[in-house]
Amino acid sequence: MQRYLRLILLPIFGAMIFISLKGQEVSTILLKGKVIEQETGEALPFATLVLVKDPQQGVATDMDGSFSWEVSANTLAEVEVKYLGFISQRLTIGDIQENSTIALASDVAPIDPIIVRVKINYDELYSPTVQRLEQDALWGEDAINIARAFDGLPGVQIQQGALNTQRLSLRGIGARTPFATDQVRLYWNNFPLTNGAGESVLEDIESGFLEMAYVQTGPAPAALGANLGGSIQLVSKQWNRLNWATSFGASVGDFGRNREWVNLHNRAGKWEQDLSVVRSASAGYRDNNDYERVSGTIIGRVNNYTNETLYLVHLRQMQAEIPSSLNANDFAEKPTAAAFNWASVNGREDQLTYLLGLQHTHEIGSLKGLGKLINRSSVFGGRRTNDEVRPFNIINEDSYQYGLRTNFIFRDAPALKGSFQMGGELFLENYDITTFQVLDGGAQGDELGSQNENRFYYFAFSQWTARWGKNWKTVVEGNLRQTLYSWQAVNLDREFNFDPVFLPSLSVFYQPADKGWSMHARVNRGISQPDPSSSIDNSFLNGEPLQAATGWNREVGVKWYANEFYLEITAFQMDLEGALIQRQDEIGRVLFFNGGSARHQGIEFRFAKGWWLNDHFLHFKTNYTLADYRFRDFRELDGDYSGNDIPGVHPHRWRSDLSWKANRWGASISLDVAAKQWVDDANTTAADGFSVVHARLSHLFPRLGRGLKIYAGCNNIFDQAYAGMVQVNASGFGGNLPRYFYPALPRYFYVGVDYGL
């Protein structure tokens, strides 16, 4: 293990030393200025300035709209200044030196004199510890699956068994959930995508239509529920096109992978909206592996002087076969096969998802000493159905969910030395499930039973961000949360209510004025609650009420940034009590129980460096996670696992990307490295590590209409066989071997074209 760690760390730190020495030879310029709204002169906090040829290098303005940024002494280099809802500007470094005040105009059509003053500012929900994924990272590869954009970020791991089977974990939380993402809060345009049982489906959203993603590892911000694992906020792209502008594209690849999309943008004065339709499909690498997803989304915005209203309508239908996992023998000898019992019934699922959301942001006014008061409120609702054929039964699921959230924000409050916000979220879900006998070939037989669950939670939150002098900033947060469940079946009616829990957070930041480094410390508490069925079963059948898992996260970090150089290191430790352990029984039910205590600790490392070679720009970045996650006190009837590694997590994960841009050409190559991972609590069986290389080439024709882009790529260039996902603690029923492994895709090629991006 130590040798493996040295092999990873030595090249990283060697590169750091070399690059740092080289960087000393390059002169730099300190840019200082302010970004304001053109019509009103008001500051634009959290506006971003990035180098056009290297979007990874940039800076964000502070609460006063001011920025301080050290860049290389190339006065002809272009900088793009961006703010959500405003027209971006491209300026040279020389321009910014001559005029340090940058005024951005609203993106409302020029014929409309109305000024947009109230904006949805997602940065207000986060402290500077959040990781941001820009559009370039989200639109990579063939865009069929969103997982690759997030997988390998520091502290983030996504395992994928198929396009319809994947699991996201943040700092190891949720790594042992069998088939879904659990214990992580997921939002889309500030509307929750996490259901009342705590499960999220990241693959519901098309990555090709996203502008930004915010990833918070460790407990989520108080405003987003303070879930133990963390949170992801997805923000849709604003197309900013002329009225009735159309964009479209398509891609094709091996294993029948294909994707077609179209977007129609219309604008009329204060009102604009986008209609997007996408179809993604695959014949699959394995037997019983066909997949098709069709989604349609309408996102609209209506703006006036002190208001902004956003509405969202999303419909998604997915039909997919399920090859399931394989035992060790089949995984090694015939990875293209489906599990025998799933193939025999043509295991499959048919899902239909609706999501509706309406959000209104209103500037109430200015209060003496408390600055500008803004309220952002939303209502949302949805429905999700799923019909799934499994070897042991057929299930029909039908759930309705709806809720509301509100947020009061005091911006630029002198009396508070910063800003303050408070609000809450309320969520209700009605979930019905009916099971049927499965007959030969997957035909539906007699009904076996049905049950109904009502899931309800609420939380209230507050956040105070204050500046102390020129160098210090603190973020104090609090979340008060409660969850209530009820469960009904034939002649049964049961309830289970968790006690209210208070979840505090404190972050401290130090950034010396005009210096290229900063540091932070954060202490916060998170919570993870089990699903209703397990809560009810444990309370009424076993006599021991199931408790929510809670944990304290402690972390310190430091950043260095200068001269197209970026380095960030964060060390963290999370202590969990009542860690939730999942087991699957012989009829497919996933059951929870409290498994003692655990400690998740590690190091998250980010490094990036760019080089200009005449008109060519070369950029290297690498992310590394050291994940030392262990049970502290965990005993079961069949053994004592205290001190064992927590399975389902790679203890070392390293992802590096080298990209090149010149004359509208772009090329990239990436290396994904992962150490072996345990697949059971006893640490007796492991999935081997892997080293996988991907490559992509693209060219932009900017003068063809609104821009035509063609691209081609190859994933897993060296055709390595490895497990893309593992089923933790799989059981072997009827004397069969446990089926731990999902084969990853072998080498595959793809090509595509996009118009009007």
Q: Which residues pair with 214 in a beta bridge?
A: 132, 233
Q: Where does the pLDDT of residue 650 fall: very low under 50, low under 70, confident under 90, or very high at 90 and above? A: very high
**CA separation for the pair 580, 198 (Å, rounded):** 12
Cβ contacts of 528 within 8 Å, gap of 6 or more: 173, 182, 183, 198, 227, 228, 229, 548, 549, 550, 580
Residue 113 lies in a domain: no
* pLDDT of residue 380 exceeding 80: yes
Q: Where does the pLDDT of residue 563 fall: very low under 50, low under 70, confident under 90, or very high at 90 and above? A: confident
Give the per-residue pLDDT at 456: 94
Give the per-residue pLDDT at 599: 95
Burial class of 66 by CB neighbour count within 10 A (0 to 12, 13 to 18, 19+): middle
Copy the structure tokens of residue 334: 């015939």
199 or 347: which leads in pLDDT: 347
Cβ contacts of 543 within 8 Å, gap of 6 or more: none
Residue 95 lies in a domain: yes
Averaged pLDDT score across all residues of the chain: 85
185-188 and 230-236 beta bridge pairing: parallel
Provide the whole-model pTM.
0.83
Q: Where does the pLDDT of residue 19 fall: very low under 50, low under 70, confident under 90, or very high at 90 and above? A: very low
Question: For residue 138, which phi and psi values (nearest 5 degrees)?
Answer: -80, -20
Last residue of a domain, one of 209, 234, 259: 234
389 lies in the same domain as 416: yes
> Per-residue pLDDT tens for 440-478?
989 999 999 999 999 999 999 999 999 888 889 999 999
Give the per-residue pLDDT at 92: 79
- Which of 119, 104, 112 shows the shortest CA–CA distance to 38? 104
State the DSSP code for 143: S
71 lies in the same domain as 129: no
Q: Whose structure tokens read 């069949």?
A: 638
* pLDDT of residue 335 exceeding 90: yes
**CA separation for the pair 264, 266 (Å, rounded):** 7
Last residue of a domain, one of 192, 208, 234: 234
Copy the structure tokens of residue 676: 């072996």
Residue 167 lies in a domain: yes
**CA separation for the pair 408, 411 (Å, rounded):** 10
Residue 390 lies in a domain: yes
**CA separation for the pair 423, 225 (Å, rounded):** 11
Q: In terms of C-beta distances under 8 Å and separation of at least 24 residues, what long-range contacts does 87-94 make, across chains too?
A: 87/240, 90/52, 93/29, 93/31
Q: Is 423 helix (H, G, I), strand (E, B) or coil?
A: strand
**CA separation for the pair 656, 666 (Å, rounded):** 17
Segments forming the whole domain that contains residue 160:
122-234
Most confident of 88-102, 157-171, 396-410: 396-410
DSSP states of 153-219: STTEEEEEEETTEEEEEETTBTTT-SSSEES-EEEETTEE---TTSEE-GGGS-GGGEEEEEEEESS
160 lies in the same domain as 100: no
Copy the structure tokens of residue 528: 């993870």
* Cα–Cα distances in angstroms (integers) from residue 14 to residues 25, 602, 604, in the given order: 18, 21, 18
Within 443-580, where are the H helices?
Answer: 532-540
137 lies in the same domain as 87: no
82 lies in the same domain as 229: no
199 lies in the same domain as 78: no
Q: Where does the pLDDT of residue 386 fall: very low under 50, low under 70, confident under 90, or very high at 90 and above? A: very high
Angle at 295 between CA 289 and CA 301, to 5 degrees: 155
Report, as an integer, the average pLDDT of 330-357: 95
Position 425, amino acid: E
Give the per-residue pLDDT at 20: 38
Give the per-residue pLDDT at 429: 96
Give the per-residue pLDDT at 644: 93
**CA separation for the pair 600, 608 (Å, rounded):** 26
Q: In total, how many domains does the chain have? A: 3
Copy the structure tokens of residue 499: 């006690």
67 or 657: which leads in pLDDT: 657
Question: For residue 366, which phi and psi values (nearest 5 degrees)?
Answer: -105, 135
Residue 245 lies in a domain: yes
Residue 680 lies in a domain: yes
89 lies in the same domain as 192: no
**CA separation for the pair 128, 122 (Å, rounded):** 12
159 or 116: which leads in pLDDT: 159
Q: If you compute the radius of gyration of the chain from its CA atoms, what whole number of angstroms results? A: 26
Q: Is 255 helix (H, G, I), strand (E, B) or coil?
A: helix
* pLDDT of residue 502 exceeding 80: yes
Give the per-residue pLDDT at 2: 44
CATH number for the domain harbouring residue 9:
2.60.40.1120
* pLDDT of residue 14 exceeding 70: no
Lowest average pLDDT, out of 105-114, 269-278, 281-290, goes to 105-114
* pLDDT of residue 593 exceeding 80: no
> Per-residue pLDDT tens for 681-736?
899 999 999 999 999 999 998 888 778 999 999 999 999 999 999 999 888 777 78
Give the per-residue pLDDT at 117: 42
Residue 112 lies in a domain: no
715 lies in the same domain as 624: yes
Give the per-residue pLDDT at 10: 42
**CA separation for the pair 749, 253 (Å, rounded):** 5
233 or 37: which leads in pLDDT: 233
**CA separation for the pair 141, 139 (Å, rounded):** 7
165 lies in the same domain as 252: no
Report, as an integer, the average pLDDT of 231-249: 86
* pLDDT of residue 114 exceeding 70: no
292 lies in the same domain as 165: no
Beta strands in 596-729 (DSSP E): 597-613, 616-633, 635-636, 639-640, 652-662, 665-674, 677-678, 686-687, 690-701, 708-715, 723-726
CATH number for the domain harbouring residue 221:
2.170.130.10
CA diameter of the chain = 79
Report, as an integer, the average pLDDT of 230-239: 88
* pLDDT of residue 121 exceeding 80: no
407 lies in the same domain as 505: yes
Last residue of a domain, one of 234, 256, 284: 234
**Number of helical H runs and strand E runs in the chain:** 7, 47
544 or 429: which leads in pLDDT: 429
522 lies in the same domain as 535: yes
**CA separation for the pair 386, 352 (Å, rounded):** 7
Lowest average pLDDT, out of 251-265, 347-361, 527-541, goes to 527-541
CATH number for the domain harbouring residue 371:
2.40.170.20
Q: Whose structure tokens read 């109430």?
A: 364
Residue 570 lies in a domain: yes
517-528 and 549-562 beta bridge pairing: antiparallel
Cβ–Cβ under 8 Å, residues 377 and 351: no
